[in-house]
Structure 1
């Protein structure tokens, strides 16, 4: 099955990185031939925005100049007036398409072409059709959906582009409170940006020492990294148009190259997995949600490639 039409997108950096490092990361992404589209912006915590805001214009200019399709993401949870104002300004003033990650953004984007991010629950084709009628052109489905659900949603909403979360720690929950700050002895209001000390998130273990979750400011993420490589042919077969790579603290240009090489048949999924493990070591891989089992499970490439969409 030909999967070369699958486009590779890069989602927003979920972590708090130093502004200059964030800029340099995207400058490198601009030079990466394998990435077709980039969505950037602060999704997790509005207190972080001042770190990256000075570099937005230079980053978007560099990406567009390199031929990337650019979109700006809204926050995943709006609880404060300043966050509502940020959402309004983003929708009204952005020169680029906006990816809605919260229902408040969706309300303001009605009638305008826009994207829908993975934080908006789209669990059936009827929801996808409503969003399309309101202006959505592409939906990134939630990473907890199994392939059977992905196939059914796409089948019931023809004519739309659909994106699937193919690489990265999975976003599981987001809160008005900051467990990351609390874990380091601070309150959310006086967090001192301690999440910047953990550029790949803060590992959380159970009481008996078993790796469990990852904290990222107000966000809870999986301890494992989702990797969908052997699944690419099945994704394309059911109508997925884009695969999303979520930035982790590793060489994401090299990650994109692995996905492109597997997609285009230059290497097999097992070799791709081995290369990814060298690029992003010490983090266990998972694909359980996609296969309808425990999210943290890992189905090896040889078995994953046998999956036949419903």
Structure 2
């Protein structure tokens, strides 16, 4: 695990051991699976005294709601916390990918997160852009960086991938979650391919609106961004980090653009992803993105 991630987890677990933990923590990590692992180990330590996520299945004191509908949150979290603890011990509430909770339901949770019963720890993960500022302000933020490719590859090898496949998908995905999905999901691999073909078409001066709906998503934008970051890396350092299967296209196209122009396109892609993360209409966001890139060229 990368140094930044291990230090963040060490701080959180140490705070729990010392009893100096706030009543709510938001674990901010670009890799959702790593954030979930940290949250589960922290919940296990808080509830059982051992930072072993497997222990959660042996305790009735960790609440993980079955869904994020308002009535589910009210019944499985708020009302459950109003009852006495099953064993009289500490309890934790895991809200994984909390950005998926709609704003109205987050508001229902607000008072409970602000003033939980004694001995209750809320652990949230997800994209902070989708979480209400009033919720975030009640949480201590645990910042984790991205894992290194070797870290991701080790995770993939642990579920049976060969070393070569693990490193290839680690580089293509950049996070454990995305790399694993690329390995397992043919449609997701197809999205990556189409998104990067669309990016190449835009760089050639084309406007591929016929494929806009096929790529209009935050993941489609991510794969286009990955293509451009490799182009910048090739232009400045002479190497391609993530998309070795696109090396021929990237290396032949990179000399046509200045680093300044590549950075402007990267900024447009990053801005589009920011808009999509706040539920902006995908088709409109990509129409604007295609136009911005064409004007930049």
TM-score of the two chains, using structure 2 as the length reference? 0.28
Query: Could you say which structure has the larger radius of gyration?
Result: 2
**Richer in strand (by share):** 1
**Richer in helix (by share):** 2
TM-score of the two chains, using structure 1 as the length reference? 0.27
